[in-house]
């Protein structure tokens, strides 16, 4: 049966009763008596010990362990916390023709986020494009295209610098406790078995930048395995992330298996609906809710239920009722196709 931790009052009452039983005539409940002071001090110490033991008990298992000891649990099972990853992307440079912007040149964003140029760039005809990497890892380093960056130190011949399409991407924060805890528990419940579906999932999810993974076996024939990966927020993975996952899988796959990691082909799903109340604010909220629904529920090769889509719209705060015109039926993607949100039209 579970242990019922005594409250501080219950501890004082137990101690007072013990003192009165051992010392007839003593009143451990009399305010400011020696016995009462002893009872209070002992109860405080006992309560602290109960608290420490309760905390220590929670650290024994990974489902309740706190951050520091959760990392130790992970290390025992060979699972490390995924580190923060820096954002990377293209930077458009404008200046005097023939100017060379040296590698390592540091730029800053308006909020003081810092980026360094990966390789030297020669401004041919006054224009050039280079790759920059965020100095610090994390989501904060991601940036949309067209944002301006300024060099930390003046660069002779450089007029302006702005982020080129598709922007700076790939920045990730350190893996949070909930995600790490889930991977540790999955490792305990499904130990490696020499190349099972769960093994490929675990190997792919261990790569920084992979939020979801899906295994298709056989993929294109006997002995082939396809591993589809998605980046945080349900985004399609970059070529670099796909290459990193492929390398991780090649290092651990059975020698007889042919494994391919890839980004899924997409199936755009236009959504048409009527909305009440039909306001700009509610339209924006519904669009955001639909984007979140596709990011968390859409999976490669799996049917996207129209009823679940309608439910996501109904769950938006402020929605009174809606009529969903398109899609008119469940969305059935191809074998590895990923349904993504298309144009949202409010009729």
Using an 8 Å Cβ cutoff, are 94 and 161 in contact? Answer: yes
Domain that includes residue 237, residue range: 190-262
Based on the domain organization, do 257 and 302 belong to the same domain?
no
The tokens describing 146, both together, are 């067209």
- Rounded to whole angstroms, the Cα distance separating 339 from 26 reads 77
184, part of any domain: no
- Asked whether residue 271 falls in the same domain as residue 250, the answer is no
**Are residues 256 and 270 both part of a single domain?**
no
**Structure tokens, 224:** 């082939």
Q: What angle do CA 261, 266, 270 make, to 5 degrees?
A: 160
* Same domain, residue pair 271 and 339: yes
pLDDT at 1: 62
Question: Taking the chain (347 residues) in consecutive chunks of 10 residues, what is each chunk's mean pLDDT?
Answer: 86 90 83 87 94 94 95 94 92 95 96 96 94 94 93 94 91 93 93 87 92 92 93 88 95 91 95 93 94 92 94 93 94 94 93
Q: Is residue 71, in this structure, part of any structural domain at all?
A: no
What pLDDT is recorded for position 21? 87
pTM of the model: 0.69
Spatial separation of the C-alpha atoms in residues 206 and 227, rounded to whole Å: 13
Report the distance separating Cα 244 and Cα 190, nearest Å: 24
Whether 67 maps to a domain, the answer reads no
Give the per-residue pLDDT at 166.
87
Residue 297 inside a domain? The answer is: yes
Shared-domain flag, residues 275 and 246: no
């Amino acid at each position: 049966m579970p242990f019922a931790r005594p409250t501080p009052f219950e501890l004082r009452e137990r101690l007072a009763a013990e003192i009165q039983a051992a010392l007839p005539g003593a009143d451990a409940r009399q305010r400011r008596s020696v016995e009462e002071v002893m009872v209070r001090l002992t109860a405080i110490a006992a309560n602290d010990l109960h608290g420490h033991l309760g905390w220590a008990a929670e650290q024994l298992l990974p489902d309740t362990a706190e951050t520091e000891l959760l990392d130790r649990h992970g290390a025992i099972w060979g699972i490390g916390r995924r580190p923060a990853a820096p954002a990377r992307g293209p930077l458009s440079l404008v200046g005097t023709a023939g100017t060379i912007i040296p590698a390592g040149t540091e730029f800053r964003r308006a909020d003081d986020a810092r980026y360094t140029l990966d390789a030297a760039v020669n401004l041919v005809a006054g224009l050039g494009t280079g790759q920059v990497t965020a100095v610090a890892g994390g989501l904060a380093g991601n940036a949309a295209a067209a944002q301006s960056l300024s060099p930390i130190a003046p660069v002779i011949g450089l007029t302006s610098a702005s982020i080129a399409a598709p922007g700076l991407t790939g920045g990730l924060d350190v893996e949070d406790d909930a995600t790490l805890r889930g991977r540790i528990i999955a490792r305990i419940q499904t130990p490696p078995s020499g190349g099972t579906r769960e093994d490929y999932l675990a190997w792919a999810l261990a790569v920084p930048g992979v939020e979801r993974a899906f295994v298709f076996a056989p993929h294109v024939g006997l002995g082939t395995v396809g591993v589809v990966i998605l980046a945080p927020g349900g985004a399609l993975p970059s070529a670099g992330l796909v290459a990193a996952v492929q390398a991780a899988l090649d290092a651990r796959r059975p020698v007889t298996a042919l494994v391919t990691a890839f980004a899924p082909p997409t199936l755009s799903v236009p959504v048409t609906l009527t909305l009440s109340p039909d306001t700009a604010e509610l339209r924006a909220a519904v669009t955001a809710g639909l984007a979140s629904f596709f990011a968390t529920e859409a999976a490669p090769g799996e049917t996207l239920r129209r009823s679940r889509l309608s439910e996501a719209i109904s769950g938006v705060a402020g929605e009174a009722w809606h009529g969903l015109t398109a899609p008119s039926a469940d969305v059935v993607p191809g074998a590895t196709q990923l349904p993504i949100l298309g144009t949202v039209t409010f009729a």
